[in-house]
Amino acid sequence: MVSDDSGDTGVRSVTRALDLLALFDGPDRVFTVRELTDATGLAKTTVLRLVATLELRGLLWNHPDGHVCAGPGLLRWASLGRAAWELPAAARDVMRGLVAETAETANLYVRSATARVCVAKEEGPQNLRHHVPVGQPVPLWAGAASKILLQDGDPALLARVAALAPADTTPEALADQVAAAARDGYAISHGERELGVSGIAAPVRDSEGRVTAAIALGGPTVRFTAECIPGFVSAVAAAGARMSDIGLFPPPGGAAPQDAAPQETED
């Protein structure tokens, strides 16, 4: 199972290392090497080398009891992640206001390559909630927020996203949904990825009108009824407009780049 990485410049190894790290999805998650081998399907020698490499960076930790667990080097990324992605207080207030108005959970998503990532959430008050883990890439081929985040995407991006979806999602169908969301100023989804889960999303734009994020309400479809949806839509759209005025994720460095934007290569 050991791959020859020379053909893909080692990207496969990086992906494997990050997949291995992603198994540690909670502070109580610990594994033996055998469990990691079983969970990844990789050869034991490969797992040992990946663990050793990640341990050297502190991302995994060899607990004195023999288990492998989340490493202290994650603390470095913790402070970086929080500092880089912390919402302005005013934007957080908008999300709280949206939850207060709708009694549903509000999530803020950004696009990252062919995925979307929730960067902030405000839980709704009801007990039946749709859990979206902050910071974890989720598919861009489904869900209301995806239709918003794909608005500025070119056909090549749509094709790559559609290629990740189940067979019945074509680039053309996705493009139609994205165009509809752009026309309407919002998107609605019902059970596209998870049965019984609905979402309503609207754009957050930068000062040049580009979509930088999608603000969304998400919850059980049984609560996203025909009577509720119009109110939800106007609340989400208004929240998106307010967050656009506040201005999320300004250029971190200030200055414009001196060379072209990175191309997204295929993986």
Binding to a copy of itself in span 23-82, by CB under 8 A: 24-30, 32-35, 45-46, 48-59, 61-82
Task: Give 72's DSSP letter.
Answer: T
Instruction: Round to whole Å and give the CA distance between 257 and 210.
Output: 17
- The DSSP line for 182-226 is HHHT-EEEESSSSTTEEEEEEEEE-TTS-EEEEEEEEEEGGGS-T
Can you tell me which of 5, 123, 176, 194 binds a copy of itself, judged by CB under 8 A? 5
Q: Which of residues 215-234 bind a copy of itself (CB under 8 A)?
A: none
Stretch that binds a copy of itself, among 13-21, 87-95, 184-192, 237-245 (CB under 8 A): 13-21
Can you tell me which of 87, 95, 119, 148 binds a copy of itself, judged by CB under 8 A? 119
Residue closer to a copy of itself by CB (options 121, 147) is: 121
Q: How far is the CB of 193 from a copy of itself (least distance, A)?
A: 17
Stretch that binds a copy of itself, among 195-203, 218-226, 229-237, 244-252 (CB under 8 A): 244-252
Instruction: Round to whole Å and give the CA distance between 130 and 217.
Output: 10
Q: Which of residues 127-156 bind a copy of itself (CB under 8 A)?
A: 133-137
Instruction: Round to whole Å and give the CA distance between 139 and 153.
Output: 15
Mapping DSSP to helix (H, G, I), strand (E, B) and coil, where does residue 31 land? Answer: strand
Can you tell me which of 102, 105, 212, 244 binds a copy of itself, judged by CB under 8 A? 212
Q: How far is the CB of 139 from a copy of itself (least distance, A)?
A: 12
- Scan for tokens 């603390």, then name that residue: 75
Q: Rounded to the nearest 5°, which phi and psi values hold at 69?
A: -140, 175
Q: Which of residues 152-191 bind a copy of itself (CB under 8 A)?
A: none
Burial grade of 99 (CB within 10 A; 0-12, 13-18, 19 or more): buried
x/- contact string, 95-114, with a copy of itself (CB under 8 A)? ---------------x-xxx
